Amino acid sequence: MSSDLINRRAAKPHTSMFLRMLMRAAVLRRGRAASALLAMVVAAAVATAMLNLYVDVQAKLRKEFRNYGANIVVVAKDDKALPADALSKVQSAIAGHGFAVPFAYIVARTSDGQPVVVAGTNLDQVRKLDSWWSVTSWPNASQDALVGTRAAAVVSPQGKPFDLSFQLRAIHLNPAGILRTGASEDSRVYLSLQDFESWTGVQPSTIEIAASGSSDEIDSLVQKLSQSLPATEVRPIRQIMEGEARVLGKTRATLAAAAALIIATAALCVLSTLIGWVFDRRRDFAIMKALGASEGLISGFFAAEAAALGAVGALVGFGVGVGVAAWIGRVNFHAPVVPRFNVLPIVFVGSIAVALISAVLPIFLLRRVQPAMILRGE
């Protein structure tokens, strides 16, 4: 049994001693090793959190920017109605990455002959698309209308039911809610599409689309839509797209600058802790040298130690960092930041590189010193 062990060790003397020294160095100087590991973990965690945030913030902010409403609009050419299958085509093209809302418009007359724009749409979806609409109460019954605040002053000043007529056909509507947007919607009356079509027979002429994705994805969606709907004009809403691109770009650039600063600080923290740790063990270094270890072996030993520390620190730190990023996501965006595993190799390699630099630097400085001087404590 024991001769087995001796034989095995004799076969690979270097490896076995090497591993034992590594293990003992970690166990015997627990306090210092733990503080070095802690620094490593914290640095890796901060780096992971920042990189994760940087990668994910675009998606998070895009979601916020979709509150600005539609970013693509499909309009029928030359005042005709859209083809009947337009909405289903649009919906299959966006395939879950956003949604589309049809709008139909006419100019109706009030009972005293004033013109007023009446729009028919899917009110449930408009509520999702145009979240900034301030509405007293959303209509839910047939013949209920959502009346813009300026239109209300004309058609129904006391909030009483009113009549509208379009091409000699009249409709009796009940003002269920008042709409306030500060834009042209204030002068309109909104109906559900069913009420609108059974009254006027007019089909939707506009589809507003809130599509999520990068500007390239939206450009390709616009291309795809204009190919599948040749009789229409598909255009991105530049006001919304450009504002979004600008703010997003600036935010990401600021975050990148912050991430670079923070990661540099964390690396500095690791560097100073590890250099102190290795420098502190110059007596080990001197004894090894006095016992005849080659410089390469000593450097290899400290480098292996640092690499192990870096690897363990990076893995633990990655876990902690993902947690921190998720927490920031939940606090600020009310949705956790999804862990990005493509960040792991960067953090892993970076941690080991910083650890190696901070282990090899003091060795390089100690190389010129005679072991005897270190052992004498000078």
Partner 1 sequence: MFGRLVYESFRRQKRRKLLAGIAITLGVGVATAMIAVATDIGDKISRELRSYGANLIVTPQEDTLDVQIDGVDLKPPSDGAYLNEADLPRIRGTFWHHNIVGFAPMLPVSVAANGADAKNLTLLGTYFSKHLKFGKEDFTTGVRLTHPWWKVQGAWPDDNSTDVLLGESLASKLGRKAGDEIMIAGQSHRVAGILSTGGAEDNQIVAPLALAQQILGKPGAVRRLYVSALTKPEDALARRDPKSMNPEMFDRWYCSPYVASIAYQLQEAIPHSHAEQIRQIAQNEGTVLSRIKGLMLLVTLAALFASALAVSAAMATAIFERRSEVGLMKALGAGNISVAALFFAEALLLALIGGVLGFAGGALLARQIGRSIFDSQITIEPVLFPVILAIAVIVTFAGSAMAIRRAVKFDPVYALRGEA
Residues 285-344 that bind partner 1 (CB under 8 A): 324, 328, 331-333
Please report how close the Cβ of residue 3 comes to partner 1 at its closest, in angstroms: 37
HSE on the CB side for 335, CA within 13 Å? 9
What SS3 state is found at 171? strand
Read off the tokens for 111.
């009972």
Residues 73-112 that bind partner 1 (CB under 8 A): 75, 105, 107
Please report how close the Cβ of residue 4 comes to partner 1 at its closest, in angstroms: 37
Residues 142-161 that bind partner 1 (CB under 8 A): 150-151, 154
Please identify which residue in the block is written with the tokens 């640095």. 43
When binding is defined by CB under 8 A, the residue of 26, 37, 39, 146 that contacts partner 1 is 39
Q: Which of 238, 232, 206, 205 is nearest to 219 (CA)?
A: 238
Please identify which residue in the block is written with the tokens 């595993």. 341
CB–CB of 298/363 below 8 Å? yes
Q: Pick the closer one to partner 1 by CB: 294 or 332.
A: 332
Q: Pick the closer one to partner 1 by CB: 27 or 331.
A: 331
Rg of the Cα atoms in the chain: 35
Q: How far is CA 242 from the centre of its chain?
A: 19
Q: Pick the closer one to partner 1 by CB: 18 or 279.
A: 279
Strands (E), 181-225: 188-192, 206-211
Q: Pick the closer one to partner 1 by CB: 8 or 235.
A: 235
Write the DSSP assignment of 210-222 as a string of letters: EE-S-HHHHHHHH
Contacting range for partner 1; rule: CB under 8 A; set: 36-44, 167-175, 296-304, 347-355: 36-44
Please identify which residue in the block is written with the tokens 């005293």. 112
Under the phi-then-psi rule, with left for phi > 0, alpha for psi from -120 to 50, and beta for the rest, what region is 121?
A: beta
* 250 binds partner 1, rule: CB under 8 A: yes
Please report how close the Cβ of residue 6 comes to partner 1 at its closest, in angstroms: 33
Question: Residue 350: phi, psi to the nearest 5?
Answer: -60, -45
Residues 207-236 that bind partner 1 (CB under 8 A): 235-236
Q: Pick the closer one to partner 1 by CB: 262 or 297.
A: 262
What residues contact residue 11 under an 8 Å CB cut-off, 6+ apart?
none
Please report how close the Cβ of residue 173 comes to partner 1 at its closest, in angstroms: 16
Residues 336-375 that bind partner 1 (CB under 8 A): none
When binding is defined by CB under 8 A, the residue of 268, 290, 335, 349 that contacts partner 1 is 268
CB–CB of 171/163 below 8 Å? yes
Q: Pick the closer one to partner 1 by CB: 1 or 331.
A: 331
Identify the helix (H) or strand (E) that includes residue 38.
Answer: helix 30-65
Residues 176-205 that bind partner 1 (CB under 8 A): 180-184, 186-187, 205
Q: Pick the closer one to partner 1 by CB: 85 or 280.
A: 280
Please report how close the Cβ of residue 13 comes to partner 1 at its closest, in angstroms: 29
Please report how close the Cβ of residue 298 comes to partner 1 at its closest, in angstroms: 19
Please report how close the Cβ of residue 270 comes to partner 1 at its closest, in angstroms: 8
Q: Pick the closer one to partner 1 by CB: 60 or 89.
A: 60
* 247 binds partner 1, rule: CB under 8 A: yes
Q: Are strands 188-192 and 115-121 parallel, antiparallel or unpaired?
A: parallel
Q: Pick the closer one to partner 1 by CB: 252 or 297.
A: 252
Read off the tokens for 98.
């956003």
Q: Which of 157, 148, 159 is nearest to 184 (CA)?
A: 148
Please report how close the Cβ of residue 66 comes to partner 1 at its closest, in angstroms: 10
Please report how close the Cβ of residue 94 comes to partner 1 at its closest, in angstroms: 19
- Determine whether 215 is exposed, middle or buried from the number of CB atoms within 10 Å of its CB (0-12, 13-18, 19+): middle
Identify the helix (H) or strand (E) that includes residue 195.
Answer: helix 193-200
Please report how close the Cβ of residue 65 comes to partner 1 at its closest, in angstroms: 7
Residues 162-181 that bind partner 1 (CB under 8 A): 180-181
